[in-house]
Structures are given as structure tokens and as C-alpha cells.
Amino acid sequence: MTRLSASIHTTRLGPLAAAVVALWFLASLTLSLTGVFDSRNRPPLAIAASALVPVIAFAIAYLGWPEFRRFALSANPALLTVAHTWRVAGITFLILYYHNQLPGVFALSAGWGDIAIGITAPFVAWGISRGIAKSQPILLWNALGLLDLAAAVTLGVLSSAGPLGILAHGTTTQLMGRFPLSLIPTFLVPLFIIFHLITIGIIRQRKE
């Protein structure tokens, strides 16, 4: 395949990717509004699946579909990075914790972690866009961002109602299964994980 034909194929993936993300959001919104993610006293399996399946699907497409991988690596890493600014909304977790609506073991970690990533995201994005940021600090920042999200998902499950909530003591993360908070673990968390993974791929490609 020539470089021109490869570029045409990857360009065509743009509308497809946008459509998939839009349908993914609508599915998460619909399931949230209908109460599917409200686990009550059951393990939060629906939320866990909604958080993991998109990331697994992305990984499979990235590793097994060369055109998709080229499309993903053609993204602007500065834009992907600045999108994480939205994570300053993690202050919501802290507010809900102080109102005894979320457990501290989850809310404090997820809240402060998201705030730290969200506040620093514009500076990292600026460094990338100016070409002055070193690759190692960028990779470290993305690794920390992934760690924050992984910890949030893990602590959320372990603080949930039901048999998996071994860290739950009174207040649980059941609220995270209700709209609008349910959109965070079922849409925003996997989306941000994918953004981190793409950015890491781009930076590693530039180092080669």
C-alpha cells in the first residue's frame, strides 16, 4: 500500500470513529437513564463491563488493524492532552464525600488524582504543542493519569455495595451507578484511558 492510499484509508476512519464514539455515548446515556448501572446490592458488573469493553476493543483494533493504528497515531497529542482538563471536575467527588454521599477511600483518591491531572493537563499540552516537552516527563504524566483512572475504577468496585465491596463501610459508591455520575465510569473514564494510550503511542513513535 502506498503512502497516499494509506493516508486515504486512515482519513476515512475519522467519520467512522466519530460515529462509534457518538453511539457509545448514546448507549451509556440510555443505560444510565434507564437505571441499568444502578447496582444497588449487586456487584457493579454492568459498570465494570462498560468501563473495560471500550478499552479492550480499542486495544484489539490498535494491535490488529494497521490502518486504525495509523489513524490513532495521526491524532494531535496536544489536543488529546488538553482534553484531560475536564478532569478538574473530580472536585465533585470531594464535595459528595464531605456530604457523606461517597466513601472517602474512593472519593479522596479519585477526586484529588483527577484534579491534579486536570490542572496540569494544559501545561503538558502547551509543552507538546511547542515541541519543548521532553518525552520522558510526558510519558510519566500519562502513566500517572492512567494510574489515577485505574485506581478510581478499582477503589470504586471495592467500595461498592454487595459482596465485592470489601472496603465499603456504611457509605458506598452506589451513587456512581446513577445518572449523571454513571456517565463518568461508563464513558469518560474509558475515553480518557484511550486518550492516554494514544498519546503514549505517539510519543513512543517519535522516539523511534
Digit-coded pLDDT (tens) for 107-131: 999 999 999 999 999 999 999 998 8
Number of domains in the chain: 1
**One-letter-per-residue 3-state SS of 170-196:** CECCHHHHCCCCCHHHHHHHHHHHHHH
Mean pLDDT for the stretch of residues 173-194: 96
Mean pLDDT (the chain) is 91
pLDDT of residue 168: 83
- Which pTM was predicted? 0.92
pLDDT bin (cut points 50, 70, 90) of residue 4 is very low
pLDDT band with cut points at 50, 70 and 90 for residue 25? very high
Question: Above 90 in pLDDT, residue 61?
Answer: yes
Q: What is the mean pLDDT of residues 52-56?
A: 96
- In the predicted model, is pLDDT for residue 39 greater than 70? yes
CA 27-61-55 angle, to 5 degrees, is 50
Which of 76-80, 129-133, 154-158, 170-174 has the least mean pLDDT?
Answer: 129-133
pLDDT at 8 over 60: no
pLDDT > 70: what percent of the chain? 93
Task: Give the domain extent around 100.
Answer: 3-207
